[in-house]
């Protein structure tokens, strides 16, 4: 590797005009390859569909015949109920009927006014009971029966699966990313000369090897949908290039964080295949989060205006990034849990604790991300009781944030919208970001050729401007589209989701990614005050990278396309 590096450096120094021409040509190749890689992945994610299947029927006397298309179903008079029976004797949310992984069924009365009776036995409210197809279920005097899907319906399900569009094959995308990585190495050598290190370039080579090994292995195991991972691998390649351009010595740490995040994502995907096992993680994750945040409060060091870092030897760890994963897990819940008062109170209390800690740390940006996620989760969890509890806690959290961050918000908003009037002090970072970013044009100046890297926080808070300068406006916009695509995909899969648990997980992760990206991009170009948050997968920082890769597991868990996700059993 060092011999190749020496030859390329020697060629760049001996023939500077040729090196310049190579950079010009490669800039076009970079844009074409990026557009191909990302647009193919994005289009595949947004056009492949997962057809909802019929798992059975809920038969109601006097002709009511309701297909069951979800694993979790609310039966009631409310229009929002999955099985809507518009009779006065039925409560708004009367009962829940759930399909288990072993294809058996569970029923639970939600404290209905007229009760639920199964085969002559009156159910105790809020207690789970195992039922079978053919059992007689009486709700508010209305006789019902749970019936299996017909043979014809099962055949129709199989037929609809065959009609579904297949996820795009990964091999051409892998080749395109590999070519992009090879050209990135060449460009870094030309752009940085002797400043680039062999270790930084080897990390890009190793990422390519890991990428091929990952796809080959899981493809052999029967998985087919790799679009999300392709997006993550591509953005991670840009991340390594940004790190190498900014500080080559940090590239190895960044690569190690990627591998740790990828390993954690794989573990989480496999672990989340079993819903009951996954739900049991909540108490442990709450305890771990409390410990991490309390340690942060006790030992945290101030960095970029917020005391949200813990220094361990030569490593800096940001506990709030790890707590993001727990926040998603705790906020998620099965349909049954959404109607449990204890579950709602536990989540509200945990959210309040997290926001209080972030307020004390002075981390306004992360607090905004947590609060936005809390609002989305609250909306998805809203039942009759939980709506009141979550709304009250949400109002209290907003009041807490306003009181705690009032001086901070005032100082940040003081220059918002007119940073050019403060170009040499409060607006220094943003004015330089916009100037250097605009200088990159549509194609960029080439990796290693930028000047924004000499401005503080250029590879973290201002990374969007960094990418615009060195990689061009087109690639920068494509990276934002990737995050938007993951968000849209998580919403699209709500219809066919196995459980509200996975649906809420995916929507929570999407909210965090989207709000984080908006704050990072808008803050860098003065469309919003600079809040100091990272761009998922793109910004440097080991903890942020690890959390970004791990968060991808929540999107994979919501992917119900046939054999597309590591987090879904093939027989499910």
Listed by start position, the domains of the chain span 56-163, 272-414
Region label for 111, one of left (φ > 0), alpha (ψ between -120 and 50) or beta (otherwise): left
Average pLDDT over residues 365-387: 77
**Which helix (H) or strand (E) is 450 found in, with range?**
none
| Across 354-368, average pLDDT | 83
Class of domain 56-163: mainly beta
Q: Tell me which of 151-165, 274-288, 305-319 is least confident.
A: 151-165
Q: Is the pLDDT of residue 93 over 90?
A: no
Predicted structure pTM score: 0.87
pLDDT (tens digit, 9 = 90+) per residue, 312-331?
Answer: 777 778 888 999 999 999 98
What's the distance, CA 428 to chain centroid?
Answer: 31
Beta-bridge partner residues of 317: 310
d(CA 522, CA 272): 34
Q: How many Å separate Cα 232 from the centre of its chain?
A: 11
455 vs 409 pLDDT, higher one: 455
Cβ-contact 240, 252 below 8 angstroms: no
- Paired with 75 in beta bridges are 83, 95
Query: What's the whole-number mean pLDDT along residues 524-552?
Result: 90
The per-residue pLDDT for 462 is 92
Q: Are 289 and 350 in contact (CB under 8 A)?
A: yes
Give the 3-state DSSP-derived string for 269-285, with helices as H, strands as E and coil as C: HHHCCCHHHHHCCHHHH
Helices (H), 493-532: 500-524
Of 387, 391, 328, 336, the residue nearest 125 (C-alpha):
336
Summarised one tens digit per residue, pLDDT across range 169-186 is: 899 999 999 999 999 998
Q: Reply yes or no on whether the pLDDT at 10 is more than 60.
A: no
- Residue where the block lists tokens 């051409």: 172
Output 143-147 pairs: Cβ under 8 A, ≥24 positions apart.
143/60, 143/61, 144/58, 144/59, 144/60, 144/61, 144/64, 145/58, 145/59, 146/56, 146/57, 146/58, 146/59, 146/97, 146/105, 147/56, 147/57, 147/58, 147/59
What is the pLDDT at residue 279?
Answer: 83
Give the per-residue pLDDT at 539: 93
pLDDT band at 141 (very low <50, low <70, confident <90, very high): confident
pLDDT at 205 over 60: yes
- What whole-number distance in Å separates Cα of residue 358 and Cα of residue 347? 17
Rg of the chain over Cα atoms, rounded to whole angstroms, equals 26
Report whether pLDDT(403) > 60: no
Q: From CA 5, how far away is CA 101, in angstroms rounded?
A: 54
Specify the range with the lowest mean pLDDT, choosing from 152-166, 194-208, 213-227, 344-358. 152-166
Tokens of 316: 């800096």
In percent, how much of the chain has pLDDT > 70? 83
- Evaluate if residue 346 carries a pLDDT over 90: no
pLDDT computed for residue 66 by the predictor: 83
Max mean pLDDT among 45-59, 153-167, 322-336 falls in: 322-336
Collapsing DSSP states into helix, strand and coil, what is residue 15?
Answer: coil
**Which residues have CB under 8 Å from 358's CB, separation 6+?**
308, 320, 366, 367, 370
pLDDT at residue 572, as a whole number: 46
Reported as a pLDDT band with limits 50, 70 and 90, residue 428 is confident
* pLDDT at residue 420, rounded to an integer: 85
Q: What is the mean pLDDT of the chain?
A: 83
């Amino acid at each position: 590797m060092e011999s190749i590096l020496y030859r390329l450096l020697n060629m760049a120094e001996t023939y500077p005009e040729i090196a310049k021409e190579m950079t010009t040509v490669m800039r076009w190749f970079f844009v074409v390859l990026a557009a191909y890689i990302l647009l193919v992945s994005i289009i595949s994610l947004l056009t492949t569909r997962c057809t909802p299947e019929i798992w059975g029927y809920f038969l109601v006397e006097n002709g009511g015949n309701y297909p069951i298309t979800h694993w979790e179903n609310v039966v009631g008079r409310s229009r929002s109920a999955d099985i809507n029976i518009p009779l006065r004797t039925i409560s708004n949310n009367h009962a829940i009927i759930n399909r288990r992984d072993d294809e058996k069924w569970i029923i639970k009365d939600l404290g209905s006014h007229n009760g639920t009776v199964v085969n002559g036995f009156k159910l105790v409210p809020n207690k789970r009971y195992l039922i079978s197809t053919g059992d007689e279920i009486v709700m508010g005097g209305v006789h019902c029966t749970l019936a299996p899907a017909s043979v014809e319906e099962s055949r129709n399900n199989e037929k609809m699966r065959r009609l579904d569009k297949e996820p795009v094959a990964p091999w051409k995308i892998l080749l395109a990313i590999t070519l992009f990585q090879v050209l990135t190495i060449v460009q870094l050598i030309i752009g940085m000369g002797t400043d680039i290190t062999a270790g930084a370039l080897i990390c890009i080579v190793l990422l390519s090897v890991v990428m091929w090994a990952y796809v080959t292995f899981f493809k052999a195991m029967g998985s087919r949908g790799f679009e999300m991972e392709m997006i993550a691998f591509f953005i991670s390649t840009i991340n390594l290039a940004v790190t190498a351009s900014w500080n080559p010595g940090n590239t190895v740490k960044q690569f190690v964080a990627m591998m740790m995040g990828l390993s954690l994502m794989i573990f989480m995907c496999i672990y989340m295949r079993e819903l009951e096992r996954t739900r049991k993680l909540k108490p442990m994750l709450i305890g771990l989060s409390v410990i991490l945040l309390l340690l942060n409060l006790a030992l945290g060091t101030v960095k970029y205006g917020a005391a949200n870092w813990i220094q361990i030897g030569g490593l800096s760890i940001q506990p709030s990034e790890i707590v993001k994963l727990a926040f998603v897990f705790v906020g998620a819940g099965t349909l049954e849990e959404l109607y449990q008062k204890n579950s709602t109170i536990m989540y509200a209390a945990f959210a309040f604790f997290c926001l209080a800690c972030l307020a004390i740390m002075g981390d306004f940006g992360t607090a905004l991300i947590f609060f936005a996620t809390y609002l989305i989760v609250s909306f998805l969890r809203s039942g009759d009781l939980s709506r009141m509890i979550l709304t009250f806690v949400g109002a209290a959290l907003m009041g807490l944030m306003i009181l705690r961050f009032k001086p901070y918000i005032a100082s940040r908003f003081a220059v918002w919208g007119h940073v050019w009037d403060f170009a040499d002090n409060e607006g220094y970072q943003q004015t330089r970001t916009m100037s250097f970013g605009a200088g990159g044009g549509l194609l960029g100046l080439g990796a290693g050729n930028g000047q924004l890297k000499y401005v503080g926080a250029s590879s973290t808070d201002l990374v969007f401007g960094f990418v615009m300068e060195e990689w061009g406006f087109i690639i920068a916009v494509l990276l934002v589209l990737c995050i938007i695509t993951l968000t849209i995909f998580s919403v699209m899969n709500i219809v066919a989701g196995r459980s509200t648990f996975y649906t809420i997980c995916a929507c929570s992760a999407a909210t965090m990614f989207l709000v984080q990206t908006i704050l990072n991009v808008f803050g860098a170009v003065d469309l919003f005050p600079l809040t100091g948050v990272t761009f998922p997968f793109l910004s440097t920082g080991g903890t942020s990278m690890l959390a970004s890769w791990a968060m991808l597991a929540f999107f994979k868990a919501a992917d119900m396309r046939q054999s597309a996700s590591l987090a879904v059993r093939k027989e499910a």
